[in-house]
């Protein structure tokens, strides 16, 4: 993978390349954060069932997921500048066009925009980890979690801003958000051009293996990442539709789903910091196990005043393991870090999308409350798999 000739920064916020990546992640996921409210809005406009909503959501997520390994590979070969910065600019353009064509054309353009998001994520995640490893004295989990923090912040703030804009101005109101992709994309292009084409100096023990070795730890991490993604996707996809069916406006359920993703952002950052200081295994296991309590209370109480803090808490606890999972995968998957990041995030997003399709069928058959109880069991399963990592050794 690539490295830079830039000297080590004194602090994590003084690395301009990392700053451009976290700003890019913020604006990309600011638009991705409109997915839940926009697709719920469009599903009602098109008269779709919960299964139809699940299919739309899955098409959006899987399109991004399947493209990520390809763009990760291209980033390793061509460099991150055109892949990451180009992804930001392309997503802003296609998302903006979608706002002018309500209905099925908007769905198609949004799915194309998600592929551009798939270009940005693996290149950005790999370079963020390298920034922590090479220029921030080995704080790779912290740098990675900062990258994901800003993405989750965008994803969380997105529906909070987008819900009121959608309610008052319609779809074209969301252009007030997409316009920021253009200056940020150009800033990222300028900073990423400073990356040279020489290999990163990585300790031999930390280099990706030349050959993929299937171990018990890897299988457990696959299961953990799938359950973590499925649990979060269930809430993100079906909580807005549940609230919309109760005749609540997008401005209300936009704030509620925004609290969930904002909590996930903070949990991701805290989890990464704790993983660098303590045990990655404990962060993974106990964040998911602890999340079962707020998830259970959400399923039990439904829409009350308690839903707001419970959604924030559930997001924080389910999101605590995310950056740790990605950093571990970057170490054990062979090939460049861009490819490893693309494969990992592509799998995580795909697992959540496939789970969302299955959940949509159950929501049509049983209703929303059983689906939210199912989400509790999914998070519990992920946490229990995390406890099984105790006898394995994850890289420190």
Q: Is residue 1 a part of any domain in this protein?
A: no
Q: Is residue 4 a part of any domain in this protein?
A: no
Q: Is residue 396 a part of any domain in this protein?
A: no
Q: What pLDDT is attached to residue 12?
A: 54
Q: Is residue 385 a part of any domain in this protein?
A: yes
Q: Is residue 18 a part of any domain in this protein?
A: yes
Q: Is residue 122 a part of any domain in this protein?
A: yes
Q: What pLDDT is attached to residue 348?
A: 79
Instruction: Give dist(CA 42, CA 107) in Å, integer.
Output: 8
Work out the angle at residue 119's Cα, subtended by the Cα atoms of residues 116 and 125, and round it to the nearest 5 degrees.
135
Q: Is residue 7 a part of any domain in this protein?
A: no
Q: Cβ–Cβ contacts within 10 Å for residue 45, how many?
A: 13
Number of domains in the chain: 1
Q: 3: part of which helix (H) or strand (E)? A: strand 2-4
Q: Which domain holds residue 373?
A: 12-199+208-391
Q: What pLDDT is attached to residue 312?
A: 93
Q: What pLDDT is attached to residue 115?
A: 93
- Give all strands (DSSP E) within 170-272, no chain letters: 195-199
Instruction: Give dist(CA 188, CA 51) in Å, integer.
Output: 38
Q: Is residue 383 a part of any domain in this protein?
A: yes
Work out the angle at residue 362's Cα, subtended by the Cα atoms of residues 360 and 363, and round it to the nearest 5 degrees.
65
Q: What is the CATH number for 92?
A: 1.20.1250.20
Give the CB-side neighbour count of residue 275, counting CA atoms within 13 A.
34
Q: What pLDDT is attached to residue 378?
A: 95
pTM: 0.70
Q: pLDDT means per 10 residues in the chain (396 residues)?
A: 45 72 92 87 86 85 85 82 89 95 92 92 82 65 78 81 89 93 91 62 46 70 88 88 82 83 82 75 87 94 88 91 73 65 75 84 88 94 86 48
Question: What is the DSSP secondary structure assignment for residue 46, as one 8-state letter?
Answer: T
């Amino acid at each position: 993978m690539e490295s830079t000739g830039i000297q080590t920064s004194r602090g994590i916020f003084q690395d301009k390349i990392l700053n451009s990546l976290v700003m890019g992640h913020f604006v990309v996921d600011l638009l991705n954060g409109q997915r839940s409210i926009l697709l719920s809005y469009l599903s009602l406009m098109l008269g779709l069932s919960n299964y139809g909503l699940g299919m739309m959501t899955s098409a959006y997520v899987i399109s991004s997921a399947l493209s990520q390994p390809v763009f990760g590979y291209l980033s390793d070969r061509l460099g991150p500048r055109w892949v990451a910065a180009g992804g930001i600019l392309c997503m802003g353009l296609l998302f903006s066009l979608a706002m002018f064509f309500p209905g099925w054309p908007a769905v198609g353009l949004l799915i194309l925009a998600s592929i551009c998001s798939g270009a940005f994520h693996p290149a950005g995640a790999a370079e963020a980890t390298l920034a922590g490893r090479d220029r921030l004295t080995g704080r790779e989990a912290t740098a990675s979690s900062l990258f994901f923090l800003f993405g989750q912040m965008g994803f969380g703030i997105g529906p909070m801003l987008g819900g009121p804009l959608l309610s008052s101005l319609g779809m074209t109101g969301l252009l007030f958000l997409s316009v920021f992709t253009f200056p940020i994309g150009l800033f990222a292009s300028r900073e990423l051009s400073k990356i040279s084409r020489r290999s990163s100096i990585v300790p031999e023990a930390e280099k990706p293996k030349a050959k993929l070795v299937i171990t018990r730890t890897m299988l457990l991490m696959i299961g953990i990442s799938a359950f973590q993604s499925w649990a979060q996707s269930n809430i993100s996809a079906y909580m807005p539709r549940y609230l919309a069916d109760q005749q609540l406006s997008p401005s209300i359920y936009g704030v509620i789903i925004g609290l969930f993703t904002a909590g996930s952002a903070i949990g991701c950052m805290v989890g990464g910091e704790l993983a660098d200081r303590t045990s990655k295994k404990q962060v993974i296991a106990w964040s998911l196990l602890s999340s079962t309590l707020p998830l259970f209370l959400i399923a039990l109480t439904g829409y009350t005043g308690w839903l707001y803090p419970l959604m924030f808490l559930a997001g924080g606890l389910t999101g605590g393991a995310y950056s740790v999972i990605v950093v571990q995968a970057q170490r054990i998957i062979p090939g460049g870090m861009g490819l490893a990041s693309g494969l990992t995030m592509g799998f995580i997003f795909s697992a959540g999308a496939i789970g969302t399709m299955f959940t949509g069928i159950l929501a049509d058959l049983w209703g929303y409350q059983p689906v939210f109880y199912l989400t509790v069991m999914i998070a519990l399963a992920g946490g229990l798999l995390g406890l099984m990592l105790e006898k394995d050794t994850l890289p420190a």
